[in-house]
Amino acid sequence: MIELTIRDDVAHVVLNAPDKLNALDETALAELDAAYQAAEAAGVRALVLRGEGRAFCAGRDIAGVDPRSDDVMGFLGGLVTPLLTRMSAFPAPTFAVAHGACLGVGLGLLIATDVVYVADTAKIGSPFANLGATLDSGGHALFVERLGAHRTLDLIYSGRLMSGAEAVSAGLFSQVFPADLVQSSTEEAAVRAATGATQAFLASKELVRALRDDRLGLWESVAAENRAQAALCATADYREGFAAFQEKRRPVFTGRD
């Protein structure tokens, strides 16, 4: 179900089970984790995640799940959370193509990705009221941070799904595109990132993580930026960037330390 190809330093990870809207079971989660491990081992400089068919990912595949014996903690805590953590920490810029249903675990995959480009036809929210279940995989944190408590609970209680344009307007994700352009636009952005100063990107990725997760204050953030900039001085790309500026040419970055 999970496909990995690598072209020009960009890993392309594809959820390929369109008949079930790319819903994920235990096997698919393990395959997705392995794909990210393989992409990291290959030393790619960017990664694109997308889904085949009408949807990005409709969440967990519950077709064969018996709620009386379901090991929810084993699935979410033992499989989903470690995968999302790995995805978030991936050592290169990551991009996702969000189209159609982006729900539950599928929403979590987007939350764990650096940059999400969204089709105008995307459907994002919490449709779990009819299941007697709750939003998971980081959805509460994303919605409360970006939408506030009242709008979050309105979405949860009503089961209403946001369009791609509404989600981007609310600050959930990066940019919205027509459905027929979102994949190519995302892949173009990943290719550009793969030719950039990877170590500088990773420094910013860590600063953003610390601001989000550790809640750094302004001056703590400034100090962290200073340390990151000082560390980048020792990289080949830092020297190349300055040389290219001084020589009035385009820089050629290698992404190496």
pLDDT digits (tens, 9 = 90+) for 220-257: 999 999 999 999 999 999 998 999 999 999 999 998 76
Mean pLDDT for 65-82 is: 87
Q: What is the pLDDT of residue 53?
A: 96
pLDDT digits (tens, 9 = 90+) for 202-226: 999 999 999 999 999 999 999 999 9
Tell me the chain's radius of gyration from C-alpha atoms: 19
Whether 62 shows a pLDDT value over 90: the answer reads: no
User: 3-state DSSP call for residue 107?
Assistant: helix
Q: Tell me the C-alpha distance between 197 and 23, whole Å.
A: 35
Q: What is the pLDDT of residue 65?
A: 78
pLDDT digits (tens, 9 = 90+) for 39-58: 999 999 999 999 999 999 99
Task: Tell me if 239 sits within 8 A of 257, measured CB to CB.
Answer: no
> First-to-last CA distance in the chain?
35
85 Cβ contact list (under 8 Å, min separation 6)? 112
Mean pLDDT for 130-152 is: 91
103 Cβ contact list (under 8 Å, min separation 6)? 57, 58, 59, 123, 124, 125, 126, 127, 161
Tokens of 197: 């100063």
The CATH number given to 2-194 is 3.90.226.10
Task: List C-alpha distances in Å: 91 to 42, 47, 159.
Answer: 11, 10, 35
Q: What is the dihedral of CA 235, 40, 207, 214, to 10 degrees?
A: -140
Q: What is the pLDDT of residue 256?
A: 74
Phi and psi at residue 43, in whole multiples of 5°?
Answer: 75, 30
